[in-house]
Structure 1
Amino acid sequence: MNKDLSIVIPVYNEEESIPELLEWIFLVVDEHGLVAEVLMIDDGSRDRSWSIISEWAKKESRLIGVKFNRNYGKSAAIQTGFDEANGGVIITMDADMQDSPDEIPELVKMINENDLDIVSGWKKKRHDPLSKTIPSKFFNWVTRKVSGIALHDFNCGLKAYSRDVVKHIHVYGEMHRYIPLIAKWNGYDKISEKVVEHRARKYGNTKYGMKRFITGFLDLISVTFVSRFKKNPMHFFGVFGSLSFIGGFFITLWVIGEKLYRQYHQLDRRDVVDQPLFFLALVALIVGMQLFLAGFIAEMMIQLNQKKGDYLISEKTTD
């Protein structure tokens, strides 16, 4: 049976909130006549989260539970949910009840009626301390500038996707924050946002600390680099390698030429190897060659591992 939507919920030690959250979700989808499934991905919880999910799944056929043998991270849980989802619209939300299920119908409507690829939640009014809100605003500002995507809240777990998007992207590492960027680089650039309610945490404690902001910037650099240069790494390594090699080459010519000039005119001079600039030039030459070779080897590896399925055909005319 075709489903209107799939709701993907990563779970990590949220035993208190799961029953209340599921009741709320099913109440909302029933009220709006939505044919839905809920996928709860237990990311190696150490409390009773999986037991509660299993008990609910026995009495509620619309709930599908998946359990990891250990904690792999939110991105792995989301990707697993994407793989298992059968709905026309896929919604992700957190299990801590800070995301309101009441937002679900409007998110589904925006995807379907506006033909959008992604609708991202924007927690305009947050119930978090300044120690979280200020770094988050700075993080989102940087991400907007780097990605070119005009979203106010990349960290918001409440997002809606068209089925086509989630079946043609891959989320890995800790890249769940950058799914809009990953989607954009794969050709899905119809991205919008919706102001959503941010509820105060009712149970337990936050699972994320300041560390995520540091790793978040590193992940941003990583996903930007991979997205832009995974098909043509020589465009990155070759450019910087060539600049380094050419710079080192001309510095070497300058150092040697200066010595010959001084020697010809019988002026005071130092040996080439006594000049720090000469060794700087050698380093630039070596680094340039290594970068160029790295790009060349990467290009060869891509050619050897190229697959026909690497490119997505969106339309095709018939004979």
Structure 2
Amino acid sequence: MDITVVVPLYNEEESLPELMEWIDRVMTSNHFTYEVIMVDDGSNDNSWGVIESLKQKYSNLRGIKFRRNYGKSAALQVGFTAATGDVVITMDADLQDSPDEIPELYRMIKEEDFDIVSGWKKKRYDPLLTKRIPSKLYNATVRMVSGIKLHDMNCGLKAYRSNVVKSIEVYGEMHRYIPVLAKQAGFRRIGEKVVQHRERKYGTSKFGWTRFINGFLDLMSVIFVSKFGKKPMHFFGSLGTLMFLTGGAIAAWLIGSKLWAQYHHLKYRPVTDQPLFYIALVVAIVGVQLFTAGFIGELVSRSSSDRNVYLIEKEL
């Protein structure tokens, strides 16, 4: 099968018939073999009823319904697991992503040998202060931290080679960082395509200001886990050792200074009267705690069932 289109959705009953008709028209005109997987993320409107009715008309439509709302990452992960196409394309269900972009995204994966092609909504119709400016700051931060030069990391319209989505796990709110996860898994051919951004036709946006705060925290998590997930002692142990040695050195200096002054019959201040001594003790104790945390983390990591899961690209 050429293409799998994964559509995560939440309360989008009005847009689904138009979206499915549009996807089918594009696929048919380009002679693609395809399937559409709509993942209903616990909608409380009639979205699932609409999917059931569309299934009667489109045999290549598949539907998955969550019992409750788990979030976009969970919906994408389930869609990726079920996908069978050579190229997997994700798009939002609100009609702000245009299915007309699919042929070119597919061509870039197949002919230009990209692992991922991310959409870039260069011209946006979102509000300036509440979405466009925060989005620019957010994407600039992600580019700086991850080293991936994408202008619109959070764009829902993306294309993936099949083995990419089968090799990563999307959890929590990590759908924003699929290119980062893919790069860490060894898929480094990441491209970008300017795509059309359409005004929302039905319903309202499901995202608010909190997604930018959560997005930054998730970025820190994915960077930390990627670097130290299998070797926590390298982080906690190094930091703990540094703090323990620093605190110990300060305490030793204070005690040594007191003894030197006492030996030379000079005026001195008792060590326990100096706030710096207690600060040094706290630093040393925190260092021991961090080292212990790294040691425990290392034990947990070594006992993990997926510790020795490695991605093999080719085999003879």
Whether TM-score is above 0.5 comes out as: yes
1:250 Cα offset (Å): 0.6
**In the alignment, what sits opposite 2:118?**
120
Q: Residue 299 of structure 2 corresponds to which residue in structure 1?
A: 300
- 2:146 maps to 147
2:92 aligned residue: 94
Report the AA paired with residue 223 of structure 1: V
Q: How does 1:129-278 map to 2 (within 5 A)?
A: 129-130=127-128, 131-278=130-277
What is the Cα deviation at residue 247 of structure 1?
0.6
Which residue of structure 2 aligns with residue 31 of structure 1? 29
Kept in 1, the 8 Å contact 2:12–2:203? The answer is yes
- Going from structure 1 to structure 2, the CA distance change for 1:74 and 1:308 (only over 3 Å counts) comes to closer
Counterpart amino acid of residue 173 in structure 2: E
Which shows bigger deviation, 280-289 or 178-187? 280-289
Residues 16-57 of structure 1: per-residue CA shift (max 9 Å, x gap): 111111100000000000001000000011111111011111
After TM superposition, give the deviation of residue 268 of structure 1 in Å.
2.6
Aligned-partner Cα distance in 2 for 1:9–1:208: 17
Structure 1 ranges of 4+ moved more than 3 A: 306-309
Show the 5 A alignment for 1:44-83. Answer: 44-83=42-81
Comparing 52-61 with 96-105, greater Cα deviation is found at 52-61
Q: Secondary structure at the match of 1:87?
A: coil
TM-score (norm 1): 0.97
Residues 193-234 of structure 1, C-alpha deviations (whole Å, 9 max, x = no match) = 000000011111100011100100000000100011111111
In 1, the alpha carbon distance for the partners of 2:144 and 2:275 equals 39
CA distance in 2, matches of 1:314, 1:247: 45
Counterpart contact for 2:301–2:307, Cα < 8 Å: no
Moved more, 289-298 or 131-140: 289-298
- 1:69-124 CA-to-partner distances (Å, cap 9, x unmatched) read 11100000000000000000000000000000000010011001111110000000
Unaligned runs of 5+ in 2: none
Length, aligned pairs only: 315
The letter for the 2-side match of 1:232 is K
Whole-Å separation in 2 of the counterparts to 1:59 and 1:309: 45
Superposed CA RMSD: 1.1
| Secondary structure of 2:94's aligned partner | coil
Partners of 1:68 and 1:20 in 2: how far apart? Answer: 22
Distance 1:211 1:71 in 2: 17
- What percent of counterpart residues are identical? 60
* 2:2 aligned counterpart, secondary structure: strand
Query: Does the aligned pair in 1 maintain the 2:230–2:307 contact within 8 Å?
Result: no
Inter-partner Cα distance in structure 1 for 2:307 and 2:256? 53
SS in 1 for 2:86: strand
Distance in structure 1 (CA, Å) of the matches to 2:173 and 2:279: 38
Distance change (3 Å), C-alpha of 1:185 and 1:199: same
TM-score normalised by length of structure 2 = 0.97
Note the C-alpha offset of 1:235: 1.4
Gaps (5+ residues) in structure 1? none
